[in-house]
Amino acid sequence: MKIYLDGKLVDEADAKISVFDHGLLYGDGVFEGIRLYGGNVFRLEEHLVRLEYSAKAILLTLPLSRAELREAVCATCRANHLTDAYIRLVVTRGVGDLGLAPWSCARPSVFIIAGKIAIYPPEHYELGLAIVTVATRRIGPAALPPTVKSLNYLNNILAKIEARQAGALEAIMLNEQGYVAECTADNIFIVQGGVLLTPASAHGALRGVTRGTVLDLAQELGLPTRETDLTRYDVWCADECFLTGTGAEVIPVVKLDGREIGSGRPGPVTARVRAAFRQRSLTEGVRL
């Protein structure tokens, strides 16, 4: 495997960063997870814009222009002879002193990995997931804006551990007010009375690119949508539920906290959204 590292494509064994990099020491940096479908880098421009916004929010100056980042992503995929892949684009604060001060870091570091990913076993896309609510709360926007996709994922990791301890593959995280924010790695949607409902970013949800795609597709499919407050009760009593994410794509949820959602099987709205997303993923984006 070839890894892009600070302007060069290097062998996997040679893709190394310093132990003094603040991305490693403090989780100081930003990243994007991107998908390649049939030689099409899906919504690459949206991902790069979000990366720029995340970097601006934490006062991290990207060392490459958007055009240079775009070409670096495509070059990494071409070097690995990939047509379908998961791409991880990471920008760290760079090498600095043993202290929090980001101004001790002379230059950010950029690396790109393009490979395979399987978040959930294939059968769950047909049968649906059984998920749980965990005690670990989503970090509030006053502490860390959820729109910043930073390298510090410990909050989500702790929630993922709780999910595993409960025998589930994914978990809902609530915010400090008790409203549904998102899952550990995915956004969440429910269907109630033919309306598609999802938490707003103000409640702790990341503005996911797949989430945004689903909102666009819903409009084209004639499905009314609304960003709103959601509680666990709303999910328990929903007609349907599904999760979205770059790695997960669109996956149905059929049970939360031991309670069946709807009929206990993936519903028709979820099926329509999944089919529309698959079709869109092959046509929208940047060709290699």
pLDDT at 141 over 90: no
Q: What are phi and psi of 276, to 5 degrees?
A: -65, -35
Q: Return the structure tokens found at 234.
A: 């709303």
Q: Are residues 259 and 234 in the same domain?
A: yes
- Residue 201, pLDDT score: 86
pLDDT over 70 percentage in the chain: 100
Q: Are residues 220 and 140 in the same domain?
A: yes
Which domain CATH number covers 86?
3.30.470.10
Which domain CATH number covers 193?
3.20.10.10
pLDDT at 123 over 90: yes
Which of 60, 81, 115 is the C-terminal boundary of a domain? Answer: 115
**Which residues constitute the domain of residue 56?**
2-115
- Residue 118, pLDDT score: 87
pLDDT at 228 over 90: yes
pLDDT over 90 percentage in the chain: 93
Residues forming the active site? 149
Q: Are residues 160 and 279 in the same domain?
A: yes
Q: Are residues 58 and 99 in the same domain?
A: yes
Contact 273, 250 (CB under 8 A): yes
The beta strand positions in 93-224, using DSSP E, are 109-115, 129-133, 171-174, 180-183, 187-192, 195-198
Which residues on adjacent β-strands are paired with residue 191? 196, 240
DSSP 207: -
Q: How confident is the prediction for the chain on average, in pLDDT?
A: 96
Average pLDDT for 224-252:
97
53-101 residue pLDDT tens: 999 999 999 999 999 999 999 999 999 999 999 999 999 999 999 999 9
Number of domains in the chain: 2
pLDDT at 150 over 90: yes
